[in-house]
Amino acid sequence: MSLLIYAESEQGKIKKMAYEVASYASSIAKQMGTDVTAVTINAENPETLGQYGVNKVLNVKDSNLNTFNEESYVSVIAKAADESGANILVVSQSANAKYLAPGLSIELEAGYASNVVALPQTEDGFTVKRNVFTNKAFGIAEINTNNKIIGLSNNAYGLHENPVTAEIVDFSPEFENSGIEVESVDKNTDKVSIADAEVVVSAGRGLKGPENWEMVEDLADVLGAATACSKPVSDMGWRPHGEHVGQTGKPVASNLYIAIGISGAIQHLAGINASKTKVVINTDEEAPFFKAADYGIVGDAFEVVPQLIEKLKEFKAANA
Amino acid sequence: MKILVCISHVPDTTSKINFTDNDSAFDTNGVQFIINPNDEFGLTRAMWFKEKQGASVDIVTVGEKDVEPTMRKCLAIGADKAIRVDAKPNDAFQVAKELADVAKNGDYNLIIAGRESIDYNGGMVPGMLAKLIGAHFINTCVSLEIDGDNATAVREIDGGKETLSCKLPLVIGGQKGLVEEKDLRIPNMRGIMMARKKPLEVKTPISDETKVSFKTFSKPAPKGEVKLISADNIDELINLLHNEAKAI
């Protein structure tokens, strides 16, 4: 019995969430007295996975895999599972991993549990704790198949160093060519995505109009944060849909979530609840967000946010 | 074009979440059920194809009899036929397998599902279904155009979007963007009357095999009180975020 992780990379660099998946898998491996193998696709720094307990890397290099596609990637990762002999596969819950994992579960005849937030328990069957009802509850689910896939929620386990030397092995499996053509990719590479962000700055109707978003962007710049918005704001077309966070939008599990002029509808709060520290800035002290937040300022965003930007700049300069 | 829309019957987004039977099942007491929002965007897009390009639209739900009002609502919105697979949905694989059987037998070339259901948030069924029937799969789909046998779709990725094209048959995991919120349809009286006469077939499940099943549920521990900071004292907020929360 051993574990395989799919360690995602972006432009050749292993992503932070891959190190989190490695940390999680190496902790399971320790419990079970086994090893962790990783499969990487066109990564330039696979050896760094050793820092988080990965013993061996199946390093796939193929220019046909430069752009992500579900069909070929499923095929490659399934071959890596065969090669490593692993029966537990751990993936992140990035958009690409969520796209891949269901297909992999059919390919590997594995039970797949998504949105997992804690280490598995093995005393009474193999069970995992999952986020359900958009963070309003947890469910304990049993995976009763021999092969298992765990989708680890972003930021649920954290990074835990466990340095070992990772053996890097070239791996060139045959794979299916995708029947889906990627026509174009429109990705803002100088801005951090909501899924990858440590800090998310989010704003709502309290900002009164799309022309007032400059201060939100400025605050996000100072913090190296991703920008997000509430549902009404995206429905009115003030901001793109990709920024809508909440139950029907994107989930957020950042370290810090700052909500500006967002009242805190139940659907919004559910979507951002997995964030560690929540700050609310709102003129209405009765806004439901104050019940969900750790820190709150009752005040006008147009006065508070510019001050916050200035003070944060001073703080960053002093702590640089 | 033959379209199948997979519909999940879920608690309204404002529902209080409670559990019953020793925390082993969701407490449906007093809960209003709706069409899963991600599925409703897909259903509305399917209606657009039907009206603008000519297509038949069937819907399918895996569930017991209590899901039928939600299915009738889909018929009232304009779907032609409804198929209910008479099984309690316990597991994504079990559901995907039933849907795959319906999809294969019906010879559909476009299957629209939602990215995830808003109850258990698994996000697993559409991708499994696609693999089981050997169709292409596009997840987190925010735009879909069909021209003959060719599909062009936009997929939301972390930090952007990607435009994809492929041949049918295709399964999508859809979401908002397929149509806008304002495009969603409220059934009118005529639609509701017609829905009563439309076929709702009940199908016997082909299998009861599950791979992953929920044992118990719990709710997160209640949160502590918010710390209020004066709007004139931003330094204090920065201090707390740095020293107490260690968030900056």
Is B188 within a domain?
yes
Q: Comparing C-alpha atoms, which of B117, B49, B76, B101 is closest to residue B200?
A: B76
Q: Among A113-117, A250-254, B219-223, whose mean pLDDT is lowest? A: B219-223
Among the candidates A132, A149, A170, a domain finishes at: A170
Same domain, yes or no: A130 and A277: no
- The phi-psi region of residue A53 (left if phi > 0; otherwise alpha if psi is between -120 and 50; otherwise beta) is left
Same domain, yes or no: A129 and A224: no
Which two three-digit tokens encode residue B234?
């931003």
Q: A210 CA to chain B: closest CA distance, Å?
A: 18
Is B231 within a domain?
no
Same domain, yes or no: A17 and A158: yes
Same domain, yes or no: A163 and A270: no
Q: How far is Cα A319 from Cα A313, in angstroms, rounded to an integer?
A: 10
State whether residue B25 sits within 8 Å of chain A by CB: no
Is B232 within a domain?
no
Is B154 within a domain?
yes
pLDDT band at residue B222 under the 50/70/90 scheme: confident
Q: Number of A to B CB contacts under 8 A, please give it.
A: 255
Same domain, yes or no: A298 and A259: yes
Please give the pLDDT value at position A191.
84
Q: B136 CA to chain A: closest CA distance, Å?
A: 7
Q: Which of B99, B125, B172, B212 to mutate to test the interface with A (most CBs of A within 10 A)?
A: B212
Q: What is the pLDDT of residues A273-299, one digit of tens each?
A: 999 999 999 999 999 999 999 999 999
pLDDT for A53 beyond 80:
yes
The number of distinct structural domains making up chain B is: 1
Q: B168 is in which domain, residue-wise? A: 2-215
pLDDT for A133 beyond 80:
yes
**CATH number of the domain residue A153 falls in:** 3.40.50.620
Q: Comparing C-alpha atoms, which of B132, B126, B2, B128 is closest to residue B58?
A: B2
- The phi-psi region of residue A208 (left if phi > 0; otherwise alpha if psi is between -120 and 50; otherwise beta) is left
pLDDT band at residue A60 under the 50/70/90 scheme: very high
Same domain, yes or no: A98 and A241: no
pLDDT for B223 beyond 90:
no
**CATH number of the domain residue A302 falls in:** 3.40.50.1220
Q: A59 is in which domain, residue-wise? A: 3-170
Q: How far is Cα B92 from Cα B213, in angstroms, rounded to an integer?
A: 9
Same domain, yes or no: A98 and A246: no
Q: What is the pLDDT of residues A85-117, one digit of tens each?
A: 999 999 999 999 999 999 999 999 999 999 999
Is B62 within a domain?
yes
> Region B14-18: what's the mean pLDDT?
93
Closest-CA residue of chain A to B173: A99
Exposed / middle / buried, residue B241 (Cβ in 10 Å: 0-12, 13-18, 19+): buried
Q: Smallest Cβ distance to A241: which of B138, B142, B218?
A: B142
Q: How far is Cα B244 from Cα B248, in angstroms, rounded to an integer?
A: 10
A residues 250-289 lying closer than 8 A (beta carbon) to B: 255-256, 266-267, 273, 276-277, 279-280
Q: Smallest Cβ distance to A312: which of B162, B216, B238?
A: B238
Which two three-digit tokens encode residue B57?
């639209």
Q: A217 CA to chain B: closest CA distance, Å?
A: 15
A residues 17-36 lying closer than 8 A (beta carbon) to B: none
Q: What is the pLDDT of residues B190-213, one digit of tens each?
A: 999 999 999 999 999 999 999 999
Q: What's the DSSP call for residue A245?
A: B
Taking contacts as CB-CB distances below 8 angstroms, the residues of chain B near A147 are none
The number of distinct structural domains making up chain A is: 2
pTM for the whole structure: 0.95
Cross-chain residue pair A296–B228, CB shorter than 8 Å = yes
Same domain, yes or no: A63 and A130: yes
Q: What is the pLDDT of residues B119-176, one digit of tens each?
A: 999 999 999 999 999 999 999 999 999 999 999 999 999 999 999 999 999 999 999 9
State whether residue B32 sits within 8 Å of chain A by CB: no
